[in-house]
Amino acid sequence: MKHKVSYVMCCMLLMMAACDNQDKGENLTQHVNPKIGSGGHGHVFVGASVPFGMVQLGPTSIPQEWDWCSGYHESDNSVIGFSHTHLSGTGIGDLFDITLMPVTGNVTYARGTVDNPTSGLWSEADRSHEVAEAGYYAVPLTRYAIQAELTATARVGMHRYTFPESKEAAIVIDLENGGCWDRAIDTHLEAEGNTRIVGWRHSRGWAANQKVFFVAEFSKPFTHLTLHGEGERYGRAHFTTSQNEELMVKVAISAVDIEGARQAMQSELPGWNFEATREAARHAWETELQRIRITTNDESTKRIFYTSMYHAMMAPALFSDVDGRYRGADGNIYHSTTPRYTNFSLWDTYRAKQPLMTIIQAERAGQFVSSMIDICDRQGDLPVWHLWGNETNCMVGDPAIPVVADAIVKGLQGFDHDRAFEAIKQTAATPERGKQFRHAYGYIPCNLMNESVAFDMEYALADGAAAQAAKALGREADYQYFTRMSHSYRTYFDKHTGFIRGVDDKGNFRTPFNPYYAAHRADDYCEGNAWQYTWLVPHDMEGYTQLFGGKEACLARLDSLFIAPSTIEGDPSPDISGMIGQFAHGNEPSHHILYLYALLGQPHKTAERVREVMKTQYRDTPDGLSGNEDMGQMSAWYILSALGLYEVEPASGRYWLGSPIIDRAELTVEGGTFVIEIIGNSEQHPYIKGVKLNGEPYTLPYINHADIARGGVLTIEMTDTPNVQ
């Protein structure tokens, strides 16, 4: 009876989805190409998921190299199985948990090697017949003549495999998989009858103590289950199949326990209707994509824009079970009445991804912050890079502080603002990761810590955001304190060279000095050099210009960034990419720089450079990203820039105007709909001539978040004449 009710409800949802799409017009999922960014250094996930889902079900390949961080790369067609967790766009790999591989005949239970096509479980995938859509993935496995199809709900992955005739057909559950990214430390496989297998995979890698529990149900009874490999980490469910027989598997996961996975299965996917599940996943994406409806005659722009939306909503990932239980940052089990999330790549996403979420996903953005406060409660400070409930402390600074402060300033709901600010203060005060040196010296000396400049400047930026949150809450003493701390970067400014440089504990600049030099994890900067880090001061540009001796000198140095040779000397990180002079759009520290011209009174230069980057560094091809996607940051930069808006100063609550490339956009916001109308837009008209807000002349070079959130109409008239102030 339960299955019948679920089927009826599913049909009703599909009918509602059809009506919703008809009312809103264009089907936006048709513009999503999940393979954009799957080549080059994009590192994007390719597979089946729903927005912000716990499950990201897709192929995992043999290579475990940098460009395979997501388990997939456009240049390679090996598949060792279909894993239920992946990362998208990161610079480090992990996850790939609970991997299923359909096979026929004898196999060896190992990853295998590309120079031996019959080793391990792996098969070549026929990419000429591959299908990648929002919520659906399919590919033929040539070694076994099996067609693989995948779709998903938030916590359940659904597989449909079409087998050839075989007396040795099987689906292998692989709990060993992880390769060099992580290793299994505790696994369990157990059959419950002949249609269900349960178990867990606990692993250690980038996430130091990752726990995934699962329940797998089969649409057809298996004849028996055999365990293989070292530690019996491979379970082979045996079948006899006829030609073109379809065999389905549903796999629910939980970070809490098997019961959590079991409840997810019962709640989200009790039946076996693959096509209805696929359509529900597509509709889930359609609903979220409809939050921004753009008008443009350029189909390539439309594909890049909506694929960027798709990528931006891949993370953070849902982390709590259907009953509200979740595994806290201390490893203990807690309960929450609101969803909990994980996979916070905050050093990347505080810049554009999280500000974008505050516009189009205000409720979820509040839930993200609530999750961060909970993490602080469990581990003692706000997250840095939280992966499946584990703190990795990856990257520099305190990147959660700008996100939490921004939410306070914008008045987002779903969390206690005073508790959030206390979490900011608690995090800023911890004597670790270089902050002990800031407290003692007022800055981080370069002879006491690697990446000292990068750490300190990110801390200073976070302090600037904290000051804005304190101001919004009426905490004057805290405002004064954090404002003072936000100026620590000034110690590093060398007025003779016009660069930010390392300073030792005696107050001396590091010598010798080469602004083109970068050494990965072993110099004063992080994934950058002096050229890029000289501009990591978006929170205090007025004060910064005074260090240069005035606005003109500051602008002259900024101009030089784009005409300097694109040479990186030393042993640089591969993340330093997307070069225009020494501007590196492929990595996050440069993302705000183009908009500094607008802050400094030369918006025409922002317009020119922003359009150049959107045109040359974003393409609707597999190598269409100039750097790692980084959990949606590269895409969020494009989305905001295409709309003509960018929040340059963290927690300022204002978005500076740039150069929109679309003709019209309708954004679903808290107050209803915010419309951006562009008049006279073209490649020849990149400059803003005039602006109106709700029909009235508007003269500010930025628009406040409150004006966007309440809904209204922003009209922007474009021209071919630079708008020099």
pLDDT tops 90 at residue 674: yes
pLDDT tops 80 at residue 18: no
pLDDT tops 70 at residue 517: yes
Q: DSSP secondary-structure letter at 154?
A: S
Euclidean distance between CA atoms 335 and 328, whole angstroms: 9
Residue 246 belongs to a domain: yes
Residue 141 belongs to a domain: yes
pLDDT, residue 5, reads 37
| Per-residue pLDDT band at 2 (split at 50, 70, 90) | very low
Residue 703 belongs to a domain: no
What's the whole-model pTM score? Answer: 0.95
Residues 6 or more apart from 636 whose CB is under 8 A from it? 308, 312, 349, 352, 353, 355, 356
pLDDT, residue 117, reads 75
3-class state of residue 300 by DSSP: helix
pLDDT, residue 114, reads 79
Q: What is the mean pLDDT of residues 151-158?
A: 98
Q: Which domain holds residue 57?
A: 2-290
Q: What is the mean pLDDT of residues 44-50?
A: 98
* Domains held by the chain: number: 1
pLDDT, residue 725, reads 65
Cα 50 from chain centre: 14
Euclidean distance between CA atoms 698 and 725, whole angstroms: 15
Residue 205 belongs to a domain: yes
The H helix count followed by the E strand count for the chain is: 19, 39
| Per-residue pLDDT band at 178 (split at 50, 70, 90) | low
| Per-residue pLDDT band at 30 (split at 50, 70, 90) | very high
Domain with residue 193: its CATH number is 2.70.98.10
Euclidean distance between CA atoms 489 and 86, whole angstroms: 37
Q: How many residues can be counted in the chain?
A: 725
Residue 718 belongs to a domain: no
One-letter amino acid identity for 474?
G
pLDDT, residue 21, reads 42
Radius of gyration of the chain (CA): 26
Q: What is the mean pLDDT of residues 73-87?
A: 96
Euclidean distance between CA atoms 267 and 283, whole angstroms: 18
Lowest mean pLDDT among 12-21, 335-344, 470-479, 609-618: 12-21
pLDDT tops 60 at residue 11: no
| Per-residue pLDDT band at 8 (split at 50, 70, 90) | very low
Question: Residue ranges of the alpha helices (H) in 114-230?
Answer: none
pLDDT, residue 19, reads 42
Contact assessment for residue 504 and residue 446, using Cβ atoms and an 8 Å cutoff: yes
User: Could you tell me the end-to-end alpha-carbon distance of the chain, in angstroms, rounded to an integer?
Assistant: 70
Residue 55 belongs to a domain: yes
Residue 54 belongs to a domain: yes
Euclidean distance between CA atoms 392 and 384, whole angstroms: 7
Give me the sheet containing 344-345, strands edge to edge: 344-345, 385-387, 390-391
CB atoms within 10 A of CB 53: 23
Q: What is the mean pLDDT of residues 181-202?
A: 96
| Residue 672 zone, left/alpha/beta (φ > 0; ψ -120 to 50; rest) | left
pLDDT (tens digit, 9 = 90+) per residue, 345-354?
Answer: 999 999 999 9
Query: How many angstroms separate the Cα of 361 from the Cα of each of 46, 52, 199?
Result: 23, 11, 35
Q: What is the mean pLDDT of residues 244-269?
A: 98
pLDDT tops 90 at residue 638: yes
Residue 107 belongs to a domain: yes
Tokens read off for 290: 């409809």
